[in-house]
Structure 1
Amino acid sequence: MAHKVFVAGATGAIGAALTPLLIEAGYKVFGSTRRAERAKQLEAAGVVPVVVDVFDANALRDALCFIAPLSVIHQLTDLPAGLDPARMAEAVRNNARIRDEGTRNLIAAAIAAGSNRLIAQSIAWAYRLGATPYDETSPLDVDAEGARGISVRGVAALERQVLEAASLNGTVLRYGQIYGPGTGADTPKGSSPLHVEAAAYAALLALQQGAAGVYNIAQDDAEVTSAKAKRELRWRASLRRVARV
C-alpha cells in the first residue's frame, strides 16, 4: 500500500510545487484547501482534494481519521495575492493564528488519525539580531515589537508544538523568502532568498530522510546557513523539478 501523505495548504505556492514531487516519488497525496472551487485544480494535478478549514477542528480531525495518512505536511499560510501591501497587516495576524491555533488543530487531528510524521513550514528571517550567518541554534526574535513580533511569536508557537508533539516525529523547515511561480516574486528577494521549487524539495527530502528537528532552507548567499540541511537532508538550493542538480 502506498504511503499516504496529507498536505495542508496544497494549493499554496509551496504546496503546489510539492504535490507533483510527492506523486512522482510514489506517495498517495491528499491535499487540503478551504475553497471548494479549488478541488478540481487538485484533482487535475493527481491529488485527492480535501475541502476543510484548519480552524474547524472537528471537521479536520474527521477528515484525517478517514484518510489515515502516515505523514502530514503543514504548508498553510494566509497571504494576499501579489503580497498586496494594503492587506499585509491583516495577513500578519492571520498567519500568526494559523501558526498557533491552526497548527494545534492539525497536530491533534494527525495524532487522532495515527500519523507518525509531521513536517511544517517556518521562516528563516525570524532570528534575533546578532552575528551572521544564523544557524538553527540562534535565538528567535520573540521580543520584537509590532508586526515582526506577531510573526515571530506565531512562528515560535508553531515550532514548539511541532517539535514537542507526542507520537509525531516533527520537522521544522525554516524557509527563506520564496520567489518563483505562484509567489508574487519572479526574482530573488530579501535577506534569505529561496526558489519555491527548492523549498518544495526540502519537504520531500525531509519526508524521505525521516529527519527530525529544525533546518534552515535558503540560498547560499543568505544571512542564514543551510549547512545542516545540505548535510542531513542532502538538500541543495539549486534543486528544481526539471533540472535536478
Structure 2
Amino acid sequence: MSEKIFVAGAAGAVGSALVPLLVDAGYAVYGSTRRAERAHVLEARGAVPVVVDVFDAQALRAALMRIAPAIVIHQLTDLPPDLDPKLMADAAHRNARVRTEGTCNLVAAALAAGSRRLVAQSIAWAYAPGATPHAEEDPLDLAAEGTRGVSVGGVVALERSVLGAADLMGTVLRYGQFYGPGTSNAEPRGACPVHVEAAAWAAVLALRHAQGGVFNIAEDNPEVSSEKAKRELGWHASLRLRQGVAS
C-alpha cells in the first residue's frame, strides 16, 4: 500500500506544484482545501480532496484520524491576490493566525492520527539584521515592529510548533519570495526569490533526505544562503516539475 500524505493547502501555489510530484513519487496524496469548489482541481491532479478548515480543530482532527497519514505537509497561507499592498496589513494578521492557531491545530491532528513526519512552509526573510548571507542558525527578527513584527511572530510560532512536537520529525522550509505559475510574480522579485516549482521540489527532497531541522530554500543571493539545502537535500534552484533528481 502506498504511503499516505496529507497536504494542507494543496490548492495553493506550492501545493498545486507539489501534489503532482508526490503522486508521481508513488504516494497516496490527500489534499486539503477549505473551498469545496476546488475539490475537482485536486482530483484532476491526482489527490483525494479533503474539504476542511484548519481553524476547525475538531473537523481537522477527525479528517486526519480517518486518513491516518504517515506524513503531513503544511503549505497553508492566507494572502491577497497579487499581494495587493492595500490589503497586506490585514493579510499579515490573517496569515499569522494560520501560522499560529492553524499550525497548532495541524500538529495536534497529526499527532492524534499517528503521523511520523511534518514538513512546513516558513519564510526566508524573517532574519534579524546582521551579517549576510543568513544561514539557518541566525536569529530571527524578534524585535520587529508593525506588520513585520506580526509576520515574524507568526513564523516563530509555526517553527516552534513544528520543531517542538516530541513525536514528529519536523522539517521547516524557509522559502524565498515565490515566482512562477500560480504566484503573484512571473519573474524573480524580492531579495531572495525562488521559483514555486523548485520550492515544491524542496518538500519532496525533505521527505527523502531530511532528518528534521530548518532549511533556507532560495536562489543564490546576497541575503540568505541555501547551501545547507544543496548539501543535505540535494536541492537546487533550477528544479522544475518535469525534472527529476537522484534519490
TM-score (norm 1): 0.98
- Relative distance call for 1:131 and 1:210 in structure 2 (3 A) is closer
Q: Look up the match of 2:219.
A: 219
CA distance, structure 1, for counterparts of residue 201 and residue 77 of structure 2: 18
Structure 1 residues 151-190: aligned runs within 5 Å: 151-190=151-190
Q: Is the 8 A contact 1:215 1:229 kept in 2?
A: yes
1:221 is displaced (CA, Å) by 2.1
Q: Is the 8 A contact 1:193 1:222 kept in 2?
A: no
Q: Look up the match of 1:148.
A: 148
Structure 1 residues 176-215: aligned runs within 5 Å: 176-215=176-215
SS of the aligned residue for 1:7 comes to: strand
1:184 is displaced (CA, Å) by 1.1
Task: Write the letter of the residue equivalent to 2:80.
Answer: P
SS of the aligned residue for 1:231 comes to: helix
Cα root mean square deviation, aligned: 0.9
CA distance, structure 2, for counterparts of residue 86 and residue 225 of structure 1: 31
CA distance, structure 2, for counterparts of residue 97 and residue 141 of structure 1: 18
CA distance, structure 1, for counterparts of residue 90 and residue 49 of structure 2: 27
User: Which runs of no fewer than 5 residues in structure 2 stay unpaired?
Assistant: none
1:81 is displaced (CA, Å) by 1.3
Q: Look up the match of 1:65.
A: 65
Q: Is the 8 A contact 2:210 2:232 kept in 1?
A: no
Q: Look up the match of 1:130.
A: 130
CA distance, structure 2, for counterparts of residue 16 and residue 105 of structure 1: 22
The runs of at least 4 consecutive aligned structure 1 residues that moved more than 4 Å come to none
1:78 is displaced (CA, Å) by 0.4
Q: Is the 8 A contact 1:34 1:51 kept in 2?
A: yes
Deviates more, 1:69-78 or 1:81-90: 81-90
Which deviations, in whole Å up to 9, do the C-alpha atoms of 1:170-220 show, x marking residues without a partner? 000000001000101000011100000000000000012243000000001
TM-score (norm 2): 0.97
- Relative distance call for 1:146 and 1:234 in structure 2 (3 A) is same
Task: Write the letter of the residue equivalent to 1:158.
Answer: L
1:244 is displaced (CA, Å) by 4.5
- Percent identical: 67
Q: Is the 8 A contact 1:133 1:225 kept in 2?
A: yes
Q: Is the 8 A contact 2:118 2:169 kept in 1?
A: yes
Q: Look up the match of 1:53.
A: 53
Q: Does 1:5 align with 2:5?
A: yes
How many correspondences in the alignment?
Answer: 245
Q: Look up the match of 2:25.
A: 25
Which deviations, in whole Å up to 9, do the C-alpha atoms of 1:107-145 show, x marking residues without a partner? 000000000000000000000011000000100001101
Q: Look up the match of 1:16.
A: 16
